[in-house]
Amino acid sequence: MDKHNEHKKLNVLTQYGAILAGCFIMAFGYSYFCIPYKIAPGGLSGIATVLYYFTGIPVGIMTLVLSVPVFLFSIKILGIKFGIKTVFATVFFSLFIDLITTVFTVYKVDIFIASIFGGVLIGLGLGIIFRFGASTGGTDLIAAMAKKYFSWISLGTWMLIIDMSVVLIAGFSFKSVNIMLYSIITIYVTNKMIDFIQEGIDYTKVIYIISTKSDEISQKILENLSRGVTGIYCKGMYTKKEINMLMCIISRAQIAGIKKIVHDIDKNAFVISVGALEVIGEGFKRIDG
């Protein structure tokens, strides 16, 4: 029992340590490659970057201030779904931004190089944070709240709309088309890096789960990830036994979560992850025409 508790504590410490590392990497990308060049790659940090140049308030502090009302509204609208890990990640990401800005000396590089490497580091950090079941709030939560009222627009589309809105705000505020274009480059590289860390190149994944404990797994997915699960009755040709295979369509941020659910319930389960080029239907893309 003691060994089990020790293993559990070590696992929790490992998760929070990884999230902390992800926050630092992500904050370094912002502080070193984005803020000095007025690059605002979406999210609350992008808005905070714009406000920094007009008010002088540090980006980290402003990001934290902007996060508070988002969290409060998300609790009211969505319930406490984001959990303590997201609060942890948001707080330390914000603190790291200002710490790095104060401690490190920025060496000037070409703005195009800055937009690329900023995207790489932000994507790497976010990918690690997603992988361990957290997020930095901001765009994710705002998109989830918007989808609550406009359900025909997918979560991914809302995230894109929000990030592009921030890019437009930055472009008009700084009166620079170049800033807008470099910010878009950073967003693109960030998303590609997140995909790479999450072991896939597609935003949406189709997960197939073959397990003798399909009922327990499907219930946990419904409760923890709020994703629909479809049971497909099939037959193992070697064992000749009938089994219920689960199919679930998820976003990249939920890949780590679904793997953990399956691992905790049935370590012998088969999990197959397939990239989906397009998903049309409830919770994803609307059918047009």
Do strands 230-235 and 242-251 pair parallel, antiparallel, or not at all (unpaired)? antiparallel
Mean per-residue pLDDT of the chain? 84
Task: Report the pLDDT averaged over residues 116-134.
Answer: 89
| Predicted confidence band of residue 169 (pLDDT cuts 50, 70, 90) | very high
H or E stretch including 139?
helix 139-149
| Predicted confidence band of residue 201 (pLDDT cuts 50, 70, 90) | very low
For residues 18 and 133, give the distance between their C-alpha atoms in angstroms, rounded to a whole number.
Answer: 11
Q: Is the pLDDT of residue 127 over 90?
A: no
For residues 160 and 174, give the distance between their C-alpha atoms in angstroms, rounded to a whole number.
Answer: 21
- pLDDT of amino acid 59: 94
CA distances for 12 relative to 25, 95, 141, 198, 267, angstroms: 20, 22, 24, 20, 19
- The two structure tokens encoding residue 113: 């190089």
- pLDDT of amino acid 25: 96
Tens of pLDDT along 215-263? Answer: 899 898 888 877 888 888 888 788 788 888 999 888 777 888 888 898 8
CA distances for 42 relative to 45, 77, 260, angstroms: 7, 22, 29
- The two structure tokens encoding residue 66: 């902007």
Buried b (16+ CB within 10 A) or exposed e, 131-159: bbbbbbbbbbbbbbbbbeeeeebbbbbbb
Q: Which residues pair with 245 in a beta bridge?
A: 210, 232
Query: What's this model's pTM, rounded to 2 decimal places?
Result: 0.69
H or E stretch including 276?
strand 270-276
Tens of pLDDT along 50-82? Answer: 999 999 999 999 999 998 888 887 777 766 666
CATH class of the domain defined by 204-276: alpha beta
Domain residue ranges in the chain? 2-197, 204-276
- The residue that leads in pLDDT, 129 or 156, is 129
